[in-house]
A and B are shown apart, each in its own frame.
Chain A
Amino acid sequence: DVKVTQSSRYLVKRTGEKVFLECVQDMDHENMFWYRQDPGLGLRLIYFSYDVKMKEKGDIPEGYSVSREKKERFSLILESASTNQTSMYLCASSLFAGKSNQPQHFGDGTRLSIL
């Protein structure tokens, strides 16, 4: 079974701090994704990566950056945390298959609170 592991289930940080959220997958997947999930808004894509050192912006990249130095690890960085970044953050991965269809697999999420 695919395992996507997010380093923290709960995290509390202060405004202005630099925050790192880590995600590791064990199935050699090319694609990795970061989403945030907010009540009434559903899941929104922040960034995704289709290869090591490759990334593309999603719908809401402002205030975030990402790093993918190794295939199995995808990090989300909040450069200067703000209260409106309080949310549930979900990491996902999928196998690259061109335009064909591979399911996304999700981690358990990190509930981040910015005070």
Chain B
Amino acid sequence: KQEVTQIPAALSVPEGENLVLNCSFTDSAIYNLQWFRQDPGKGLTSLLLIQSSQREQTSGRLNASLDKSSGRSTLYIAASQPGDSATYLCAVRVTSGTYKYIFGTGTRLKVLA
């Protein structure tokens, strides 16, 4: 059974730091992995989607990598800003069944001004 883990659960960094958020999954049979941002009391905003055949995706200050063989993905945020404060979730789409996504429980990021 696929399990998705995000460690740490919470993280505080000073503004301007480059940081890495981690996502681990137990079964490498995935179609894709998606990173989301969630602000308090809100829904999820899609940040990046990496297909199983890809190694990384970039959008602005965000870079997500995928290593299927080791069951890991990282989200790299460059030059962090207070506006980046949010919970970041990863989700994998499994190959068994149809359209099933397994979510991690997220990393709560606080960027201090």
Q: Which residues on A are within 8 Å of B, measured CB to CB?
A: 4, 6, 31, 33, 40-45, 48, 50, 56, 58, 90, 92, 94, 99-101, 103-109, 111
Identify whether the interface residues of A are mostly helix, strand, loop, or mixed: strand
Chain B: residues with CB nearer than 8 A to chain A?
Answer: 31-32, 34, 36, 41-46, 49, 51, 89, 91, 93, 98-101, 103-106
Roughly how many angstroms separate A92 CA and B46 CA in the complex, as a whole number?
11
* Known interface pairs A43-B89, A50-B98; A104-B42 also in contact (CB < 8 Å): no
- Among B32, B89, B99, B105, max chain A CB count under 10 A is at B99
Contact B32 A90 (CB under 8 A): no
Q: Are A108 and B43 in contact (CB under 8 A)?
A: yes
A25 to B52, CA, bound (A): 27
Please pick, from A42, A56, A103, the residue contacting B104 in the complex, using a CB distance under 8 A. Answer: A42
Assembly CA distance A96 to B44 (angstroms): 19
Pick 13 A–B contacts, CB within 8 A, sort by A: A31-B99, A42-B106, A43-B91, A58-B100, A90-B43, A92-B44, A94-B99, A100-B51, A101-B31, A101-B51, A103-B49, A109-B41, A109-B43
